[in-house]
Amino acid sequence: MRTPRPDQVRIGFYICHCGTNIAGALDVGEVVNHVAGLPGVALARDYKYLCSDPGQELIQHDIRDHGLNRIVVAACSPLMHERTFRRAVEEAGLNPFYCHMVNIREHDAWVHTDRQEATAKAKALATGAVRRVALHKPLETKKVPIHGEVLVVGGGIAGIHAALILADAGKRVYLVEREPTIGGHMARFDKTFPTLDCAACILTPKMSAVGAHPNITLWTYSEVTQVEGYVGNFNVTVTRKPRYVIEDACTGCLQCIEACIYHDARFPDEFNLGLGKRKPIHLPFPQATPPVVLIDPGTCIEFKTGKCKKTCVEACADRRAIDFQQREETRQIQVGTIIIATGFQTFDPRRIPYYGYGVFPTVYTALEVERLLNAAGPTGGEVILRNGKPPQRVGIVHCVGSRDENTNRYCSRVCCLYSLKLAHLIKEHTGAEVYNFYIDIRTPGKGMEEFYNRVAEEGMHLVRGKVADVYPDPADPANGRLMLQVEDTLMGRILKVPVDMLVLSVGLEPRADTQEVRRKFNLCCGPEGFFLERHPKLAPVSSYAEGVFLAGCCQGPKDIPDTVAQAGAAAAQALALIVRGYTEQEPNTAYVREEDCSGCKSCIPLCPYTAISLAADKQKAFINEALCKGCGVCVAACPSGSIGQNLFEDEQLLSEVEGVLTYA
């Protein structure tokens, strides 16, 4: 192994006390003494907090005063402060890659209890680093330009809000929504807690702003089918499903719906969760954005038999918006950053059979009740049961599919408050006696506890206990009245409460296709299945994929204020990248020594980032530096040893290992 000549290399070694984090667990002085005697080391010091300004300045002064040209910092994890020290070194005139960090906190001080052994380990690691840094080469961080366009996936309130901020900042936004209209879950709500302002009144202006914004390309009834590339340069394929209506030609006059051969709406209406009916040609709801109708080929006579009179086409007349021949289309776009705002799905209460959802017609989910309460809903805002009668007694069961080992362990965060809201609204609409059955009432947030107070004062029955059984009331089986059996845990008494209507406050779940979306965008999921943020506190909207940000309930259950705040944060993060105009790339990339490469192609399928291709002219492997993440798989796999990697050169690694072993 080649040893550097001492007159060439002058290493400065610094060990950080990190308060007592490191100095409390090992003998810092002993490490300094040991390293000071190693070849090439010009200076070795310890310091209380090296990451502080004076700590950094100490290194910078030493570089100038002692002619240091390599720096080793033994401190915390490089994830924490590698940038800090590289920048300090660079400011003092050295190439930042002449600085190397040794992690003696997470890898040593925090995980060992024997002081002597911990000190020995720190010495070994430091020796390895000193050996390695001597062989470091100056490297350059590459700047890769960023496309200014942003893809927002999902058109609920999170996606809408993020798209508007970016568009208002003058950036081009592609908003892709799977459903025929944007609006998401919020568009289905009646009123919102705790202020009770109407969801539509605050949402639809934002929806139409999206539809009208010159900087937003809105693709509804569309899905992202492929994502390639990397931060700043994503190539995205979007598939647009046929709605059999030409978007640009449709004026939203709705005359086609009027003219449909079916006089009456008779098919379950998806937007109203099957509580209402629609025709084959329909608009999901009056304020749908875009205001473009669509045809359901599953129920349309023309699609089923080809023999419809096509009264809709007649009604559309010379606008000629209806196109039975429409096919699925794909669009290719290039964007620099992506915001994932794919939302959630509500828990399917059939998974808890003892609540009788789908068995007893008087059992509803909370979302269904939102539609019943809504003036634009299937009953025009009247809370009436499937038998046409208004309920006189209503039970609301909290935590359905939340806080339960058998379904979802986590608290869905919004159910307590929406249950209180529904209790208030049901009482307001029907005058019914309303019972809330809860385990704990959780009302954090501005104005929330006050709202709880207000609803309680209105005379709601609040029973602390999880409903255990639901069965038809033996005294009144004919009218569909149900008996709820529950322990009032505060009274310590078993109650049997007859109700005409049972509302299940279903929890929020990751969408069924979360794993598919995760793979498409290279994201990670937490244990409960929601997309994982990079740091729960300090990077709550960043994903583990560079340039891909998270907003709203796809990251975890949250209410509308938090969703909007997070969407704004995600937009700001995307904007920060765009405005800077470039991303920096770690130069620890792999490179091909072409003279040795035989063009065997064995590295190509192994690369997890599809960074390697075969240069057709030379028949040699070619590594796209922008795509390479420096994982080293190709380096290890190359049969002729013709792939190297910056910062992880064979000689660097081997002398580091030697250094560690020499000491040990």
Question: Which residues of the shown chain bind other proteins in the complex (CB under 8 A)?
Answer: 351-354, 399, 403-407, 439-440, 464-469, 471-472, 485-489, 492, 494
User: How many CB atoms are located within 10 Å of the residue 181 CB?
Assistant: 23
To the nearest 10°, the Cα dihedral for 471, 477, 480, 485?
-30
User: What 8-state DSSP symbol labels residue 164?
Assistant: H
Instruction: Report the nearest approach of other proteins to the CB of residue 483 (Å).
Output: 10
Instruction: Report the nearest approach of other proteins to the CB of residue 227 (Å).
Output: 34
Instruction: Report the nearest approach of other proteins to the CB of residue 461 (Å).
Output: 16
Whether the link from the prior residue into 290 is cis, omega within 30° of 0, is: yes
By C-beta, is 96 or 507 nearer to other proteins? 507
Residue 435's SS3 state is: strand
**Strand partners for 499:** 482
By C-beta, is 464 or 620 nearer to other proteins? 464
Instruction: Report the nearest approach of other proteins to the CB of residue 509 (Å).
Output: 15
Q: Which two tokens stand for residue 64?
A: 């100038």
DSSP string, 229-261: EETTEEEEEEEEPP-SB-TTT-----HHHHH-S
By C-beta, is 383 or 467 nearer to other proteins? 467
Q: Taking a C-beta distance cutoff of 8 angstroms, is the pair 630, 142 a contact? A: no
**Which H helix or E strand runs over 548?**
strand 548-550
By C-beta, is 82 or 473 nearer to other proteins? 473
Q: Which two tokens stand for residue 252?
A: 């939203």
Rg (CA), the chain: 32
Q: Taking a C-beta distance cutoff of 8 angstroms, is the pair 80, 110 a contact? A: no
**Strand partners for 181:** none
In whole angstroms, what is the distance from residue 251 CA to residue 234 CA?
34
By C-beta, is 468 or 637 nearer to other proteins? 468
Instruction: Report the nearest approach of other proteins to the CB of residue 444 (Å).
Output: 18
By C-beta, is 273 or 400 nearer to other proteins? 400
Instruction: Report the nearest approach of other proteins to the CB of residue 354 (Å).
Output: 4
**Continuous H helices in 268-373:** 301-305, 311-316, 366-373
Q: Which two tokens stand for residue 611?
A: 């960074």
User: What 8-state DSSP symbol labels residue 105?
Assistant: I
Q: Which two tokens stand for residue 472?
A: 């038809």
By C-beta, is 144 or 439 nearer to other proteins? 439
Whose tokens are 């938090």? That residue is 562
Instruction: Report the nearest approach of other proteins to the CB of residue 545 (Å).
Output: 32
Instruction: Report the nearest approach of other proteins to the CB of residue 467 (Å).
Output: 7
In whole angstroms, what is the distance from residue 155 CA to residue 152 CA?
8
In whole angstroms, what is the distance from residue 200 CA to residue 59 CA?
59
By C-beta, is 354 or 582 nearer to other proteins? 354
Residues in CB range of 297: below 8 A, 6 or more apart:
244, 303
By C-beta, is 407 or 613 nearer to other proteins? 407
Instruction: Report the nearest approach of other proteins to the CB of residue 113 (Å).
Output: 25
By C-beta, is 494 or 512 nearer to other proteins? 494
In whole angstroms, what is the distance from residue 455 CA to residue 422 CA?
10
By C-beta, is 245 or 397 nearer to other proteins? 397
Which residue in 251, 268, 250 sits closest to 326, CA to CA? Answer: 250
Instruction: Report the nearest approach of other proteins to the CB of residue 489 (Å).
Output: 4
Whose tokens are 């009274």? That residue is 491
Instruction: Report the nearest approach of other proteins to the CB of residue 495 (Å).
Output: 8
User: What 8-state DSSP symbol labels residue 552?
Assistant: G
Q: Taking a C-beta distance cutoff of 8 angstroms, is the pair 332, 471 a contact? A: no
By C-beta, is 41 or 497 nearer to other proteins? 497
Which residue in 191, 154, 211, 74 sits closest to 514, CA to CA? Answer: 154
Q: Taking a C-beta distance cutoff of 8 angstroms, is the pair 56, 88 a contact? A: yes
DSSP string, 611-643: -EEEETTTTEEEE-TTT-----HHHHH-TT--E
By C-beta, is 478 or 616 nearer to other proteins? 478
By C-beta, is 47 or 410 nearer to other proteins? 410
Instruction: Report the nearest approach of other proteins to the CB of residue 363 (Å).
Output: 13
Instruction: Report the nearest approach of other proteins to the CB of residue 393 (Å).
Output: 18
By C-beta, is 45 or 464 nearer to other proteins? 464
Kindly provide the b/e burial profile for residues 619-655, where b requires at least 16 CB atoms within 10 angstroms of the residue's own CB. Answer: ebbbbeebbbbbbebbbeebeeebbbbbbbbeebbeb
In whole angstroms, what is the distance from residue 250 CA to residue 244 CA?
11
In whole angstroms, what is the distance from residue 512 CA to residue 98 CA?
48
**Strand partners for 525:** 531
Instruction: Report the nearest approach of other proteins to the CB of residue 490 (Å).
Output: 9
The count of residues in the chain is 664
By C-beta, is 64 or 493 nearer to other proteins? 493
Instruction: Report the nearest approach of other proteins to the CB of residue 485 (Å).
Output: 5
Instruction: Report the nearest approach of other proteins to the CB of residue 504 (Å).
Output: 14
**Strand partners for 16:** 47
By C-beta, is 403 or 518 nearer to other proteins? 403
Instruction: Report the nearest approach of other proteins to the CB of residue 526 (Å).
Output: 20
